[in-house]
Amino acid sequence: MLRTTTNKPTQSKKSVTIPNDKGKRRAVIGLLIIFAVLIAALAYGLRICWRKFYIENPELNVQEIIVTETQNYSGPKIDGKVSVYTILSELGVETNLNNNIIDLDIRQIRERLEQEPILKNVEVRKIMPHTLSISFEERTPQAIVFCGRKTCYIDQDAVILPLRHNDDTQLKYDTTGLPIITAVQNPDALTPGQHVTDKFIVASLDLLRKIQTHPGNKYLKIKQIQISAQDDLLITTVNPLPASNIFAPNATVIFPLFGMNDAVARLFHIASKYDKPSPILKLDVSYKVNIPLKTLLN
């Protein structure tokens, strides 16, 4: 009996290396620590540079303050004018102090100046390396109104202008030839510095602006506006402009509170076409058709 022997192939053993997770983790943590230290050192260095070259740099302290001079405001104190430098000193801003221009809060300065009742369009700018620039406009009176028993002035934005500043400086305005707005409702409620929302006053100011700025106006100037609240009308007293004989002195022109643009257009259309020898004494452009017109002779 023959026996056969089968030789099984010998299997080779492969070695498998198990990664050392702990070692890799330590390496990553070490790199992160080094990176964090470098970032902290860089931040510290930048902070030192920032303080040395910017915050504590005397060349960046405010050395000059430029202020627009107007009729009632100036930079340094001048007799009869309000000093902007004094207002700035209330905020701790002066040229002889260590006011770093980079740290300067120009928004705070602007908001403080906007509290001045007769200032508008306030602009505050930093001009590097050490100059603060402040510019603004003064509100100008467009009409006279009566605040109770007092005479007050009102500007185009319907702001009642104070007669004196809170530091007791007398404020000066050019009031030559200003029209008067009369029959105002609740005149005792009008106070200096207040923005008026009364629709009749706002419409009166709008009418004045339209007449004064109309490119075809060579005929009249409004002397007085009487508010007729019951009828929603503005009854104006007008005078003729020089070299114009279309309107009689102290003539009456009546406007509607609503539909003002069309009424103004009717007024100037009639004035441009008017060819009678007798000047107009009364004209009611609140009418759209068959407009009532009265002359000195009829």
Residue, of 18 and 214, whose pLDDT is higher? 214
| Residue that terminates a domain, selected from 106, 138, 170 | 138
* 52 assigned to some structural domain: no
Same domain (yes/no): 152, 73: no
Same domain (yes/no): 88, 207: no
Say yes or no to pLDDT of 56 above 60. Answer: no
| % of the chain surpassing 70 pLDDT | 87
Same domain (yes/no): 131, 145: no
Domain count for the chain, please give it.
2
CATH of the domain at 94: 3.10.20.310
Say yes or no to pLDDT of 49 above 60. Answer: no
SS (H, E, C) the chain: CCCCCCCCCCCCCCCCCCCCHHHHHHHHHHHHHHHHHHHHHHHHHHHHHHHHHHHCCHHHECCEEEECCCCCEECCCCCCCEEHHHHHHHCCCCCCCCCECCCCCHHHHHHHHCCCCCEEEEEEEEECCCEEEEEEEECCEEEEEEECCEEEEEECCCEEECCECCCCCECCCCCCCCCEEECCCCHHHCCCCCECCCHHHHHHHHHHHHHHHCCCCCCEEEEEEEEECCCCEEEEEEEECCCCCCEEEEEEEEEECCCHHHHHHHHHHHHHHCCCCCCEEEEECCCCCCCCEEECCC
Same domain (yes/no): 90, 118: yes
pLDDT tens, 76-86?
999 999 999 99
Q: Which two tokens stand for residue 133?
A: 């620039």
Residue span of the structural domain in which 64 resides: 60-138
Residue-level pLDDT at 136: 97
Same domain (yes/no): 251, 157: yes
Kindly indicate the confidence band of residue 44, based on its pLDDT and cuts at 50, 70 and 90.
Answer: low
* 26 assigned to some structural domain: no
Same domain (yes/no): 148, 120: no
Same domain (yes/no): 291, 151: yes
pLDDT tens, 254-292?
999 999 999 999 999 999 999 999 999 999 999 999 999
Same domain (yes/no): 193, 72: no
Name residues whose C-beta falls within 8 Å of residue 54's C-beta, 6 or more positions apart in sequence.
60, 100, 102
Same domain (yes/no): 100, 121: yes
Residue-level pLDDT at 15: 55
CATH of the domain at 249: 3.40.50
* 29 assigned to some structural domain: no
Same domain (yes/no): 132, 155: no
Same domain (yes/no): 164, 117: no
| Residue that terminates a domain, selected from 103, 138, 173 | 138
Is the bond into 129 cis (omega within 30 degrees of 0)?
yes
C-alpha span between 223 and 236 (Å, rounded): 7
Residue-level pLDDT at 3: 54
Residue-level pLDDT at 12: 53
Say yes or no to pLDDT of 252 above 80. Answer: yes
C-alpha span between 251 and 51 (Å, rounded): 72
C-alpha span between 111 and 125 (Å, rounded): 13
pLDDT tens, 151-187?
999 999 999 999 999 999 999 999 999 999 999 999 9
* 42 assigned to some structural domain: no
* 263 assigned to some structural domain: yes
Same domain (yes/no): 237, 283: yes
